[in-house]
Structure 1
């Protein structure tokens, strides 16, 4: 089967899954297809998936989503540069202290409830007068991780025509 045909079949399966129209057998097929698609995306992004880990947590989507960060020094509204189930990156004029774990509220596309949680700074890269700050998402509830992952698959599929 060609890659284009596989993506089209996955797109159809994904749409049916979003509507809750999969029987248990199709649900298992869908979960396996999600992992396969995520592995293809991580490979295309030059990322390697450690053994015994899911690529679904690692693949990134370059997407500007509104995120509100709550630091001890105050709040900051930013747009993400990229997002994965495991974390996100934003541009900041000044990075926060390394040890600070801000609260965050990440708005998903459409009229969905935001993903709310805690983040931990994992890297800072200076970019001229600003900094690219990457955060990992800490302790996200399974249902929120699933919602975020589904939204990321939506965004990834939108880019593939």
Structure 2
């Protein structure tokens, strides 16, 4: 290999490495902005009714902590958050019948992050959602915004 070709190869690798570092640093900022987003969304949109620790309110509002409903109704949860819910349901053997308001203001990705917070906290040990899965499930209730 000529000296010039060697220098170009070294310069090309240096540019590639430094460019990769810039991309990685900018991705880090992207992920840290969304860090704990699910917990923040829960606090802002859900905790007033479901409690700070997901405990619910006696026999009026169901818990989301250690809730069998969260595990058993995975496919319905994105639409319940987007559109709300009314009518009877049973959580951990207790019957509830209240209206839950929908959250049309949340994006698909915010709903995904909120659901993943619920799926993995307070005794819930369920599989996290992907954004694709949540958007597809939201499509069933005409609730996907594609974001």
TM-score, structure 1 normalization: 0.27
* Greater share of residues in strand: 1
* Greater share of residues in helix: 2
Asked which structure has the greater CA Rg, the reply is 2
